[in-house]
Amino acid sequence: MRRSPVILLLAALVAFSPALRAEQPTPPPQLKGAHAAVIVRSFLSNHYAQEPLDKVHSQRMLAQYLAGFDPEHYYFTSADLRGFQKFGPHLGDMLLKGDISPAFTIFDIYKQRVDERTAQALKILGESFDFKGNDTLLTDRKKAPYPANSEAAIPILRNRIKFELYEMILSGKTEKEARDILSKRYRNQKLRLAQINNNDLVSAYINAVTAAYDPHSTYLPPDELENFQINMRLSLEGIGATLRWEDGFTIVTAIVPGGAASREGTLQPEDKIVAVGQGSSGPMEDVRNLRLSDVVKLIRGEKGSSVRIEFLRRGEGKVETRRAVTIIRDTIVLKEGEAHGSVQEIPREGGKPYRVGVIVLPSFYADFNGMRENPKNYKSSARDVENLLKGFQKQNVDGVVLDLRNNGGGSLDEVVNMAGLFLPPGPVVLWKDNTGRVNAFKNPYDQPLYKGPLVVLTNRNSASASEILAGVIQDYGRGLIVGEVTTFGKGTVQNIFYLDGNLGALKTTVAKFYRPSSSSTQNKGVPSDIVFPSVYNHMDIGESSMDNAMSWDAIQPSRFTPAGDLSAYIPVLVNRSRGRVKDNPAFKDVREAVAAYLKNRKGRDRITMAELREEHHRLKGKALPTDGEEPESSGKPKDKKDDIYLKETLAVMGDLLSLSEGKPAGRQTKAGQKSSQR
């Protein structure tokens, strides 16, 4: 019998593509001071801290607003800062009275500084450089003083440009190519700056307030709210193309497989969209130099409607030809964000290979509108994982690996339901609201669907709902947690508060969550039972490194009955894993990267040109092993064949199966056993 917990949302740490922004049924209003005051008052009344927007928070607000424009202190001057500090302590009072003039004053000065730095940068890029020296670059200028004035900014900028050029040259670019790339980068910055409008600035100003209280509360204007909802339901209505903005053009980055544009077949990556028309006869609107979000609004639309797109395509000899296409919009399912699985085989001494089901879960998604309209059939991560587990049981797998790497969270309802697929009845997560009251979300099932061996793979980007699931599995002794030293450390709950008047919504921190064993995951995360080598194990990253992050604490533990006890196996599993990793040539590069980081970067905010040369010499010709995720900028598809972390996780599972064969650990049962009470 199933019980339904109340739905709350945990903020997903996901970088949303601008290509997914939504067309609103009615345009949002021009944000004014009165709107900002209403929005901020709503935020303050609901936030977990229940603290006023006083002088302390006003100073934090100023710091956050300035950092949004100039985090590395290259643009503003110390003279500018002195001018801003005059109204710094009063920003909160001014805003609550509807006065948001400082937002525009600061931005106007920033635009002046960008014009100055761009002119300086382009002039510097015309100079010659000697790369044989041993100059030093301050790699983290967040705490460095601002330049005294625009003249004092020139040597700081020159040093930065010199290192940027040299790094690109070391990476294989010619000096001319490197100079062209940087020139383009600075010119694009001015173009992007020109596209910032009133609502962008007011939204940023409001978000400076939310960031002054914690790093996960945020104001979502209407297009960002729709973007959030798209990523939760993994679907949208449009043509199915990912877009980017460059040099005034909207450029096709990728075509979504199976989407409307993919089925029509004309559009290709790198096509430059220059005009958009609605329906079969609507006028074509020139979209060159238009904001990316505005172009997306023109392209997206209701399922079944048509959109005409004119674009430029580069052919032979770099000649661009103008073409046109009409596409019928459709519902686009974002398949890459769905849970997916496969069955892997692990060698077994003296017998048939072990068969292990691997589930990759990118986020805890759910279509809340679909849930209300059709509660028996809606998009849900827990339902998708349940179906994968049922498929594994039909294939008689010996164990299951759950890959939560880079999973930034999602719906709390989903993680509670998903935990019930693996755990016996009992508490899944505890949460404390702003009154200090502690509540428990319990397993919604009477019996788990899957009772067999379980290994959960995490990394430093596994956050929020991922940490709830990993933590409760560890608390119950239900499975092993392997991966990087710990997870992200986000232990706060956000709820969505919708605002009247098409103003969007506030994603506000309303509670902290705790493991059944009493500990918060805030700042500390969920430590791995078996730690794999990684540079990220040694970096100051995660929640504890973020501005205004809440502190760690613990509450009284909850009563629950463990599902198993793997503690006797862990020392043996750790030793076997360390032996494999030590002997595995694929991990050699990881160990070298760790050693180089500890030598040259750990605890240091500077790097010399000699150290930069040494790093590139060490990496030259090497393809570093991946944890299953390629950098976004690489443009390469994810390749699980090179995923040494997943391979080692499967080897750990093989060890666990071997050790427990014939003598289950604690209450572990055979993998294929099914529940009879679902």
Tokens of 562: 């463990």
Q: Residue 266 CA to chain centroid, in angstroms? A: 31
Tokens of 102: 């400082």
Q: How many angstroms separate the first and last alpha carbons of the chain?
A: 7
* Tens digit of each residue's pLDDT (9 = 90 or more) over 368-411: 888 888 888 888 999 999 999 999 999 999 999 999 999 999 99
Tally of helices (H runs) and strands (E runs) in the chain: 19, 21
Statement: residue 632 has pLDDT above 60: no
Of 341, 383, 370, nearest to 230 by C-alpha is 370
Q: For 317-326, what is the mean pLDDT?
A: 87
Do 534 and 571 meet the contact criterion of CB atoms below 8 Å apart?
Answer: no
At residue 672, the pLDDT reads 36
Statement: residue 518 has pLDDT above 50: yes
Tokens of 298: 């023109």
* Tens digit of each residue's pLDDT (9 = 90 or more) over 182-197: 999 999 888 889 899 9
Strands (E), 134-214: 136-138
- Which residue is listed with tokens 């978000």? 207
Residue 620: band (very low, low, confident or very high) from pLDDT cuts 50, 70, 90: low
Task: Give me the chain's average pLDDT, please.
Answer: 88
Residue 149: band (very low, low, confident or very high) from pLDDT cuts 50, 70, 90: very high
At residue 334, the pLDDT reads 84
Do 163 and 612 meet the contact criterion of CB atoms below 8 Å apart?
Answer: yes
- Which residue is listed with tokens 């006003």? 58
Residues involved in catalysis: 464, 475, 490
Statement: residue 7 has pLDDT above 50: no
Q: For 492-512, what is the mean pLDDT?
A: 96
The dihedral formed by the CA atoms of 101, 102, 103 and 107, expressed in degrees to the nearest 10 = 110
Taken in order of first residue, the domains within the chain and their CATH numbers are 52-212 (no CATH), 235-333 (2.30.42.10), 336-584+649-660 (3.90.226.10)
Residue 621: band (very low, low, confident or very high) from pLDDT cuts 50, 70, 90: low
Q: Write b or e for each residue in 534-571: b if 16 or more Cβ atoms lie within 10 A of its Cβ, otherwise e.
A: bbbbeeeebbbebebbbebeebeebebeebbebeebee
* Tens digit of each residue's pLDDT (9 = 90 or more) over 266-281: 999 999 999 999 998 8
- Which residue is listed with tokens 């008052």? 41
At residue 254, the pLDDT reads 92
Residue 390 vs residue 242, higher pLDDT = 390
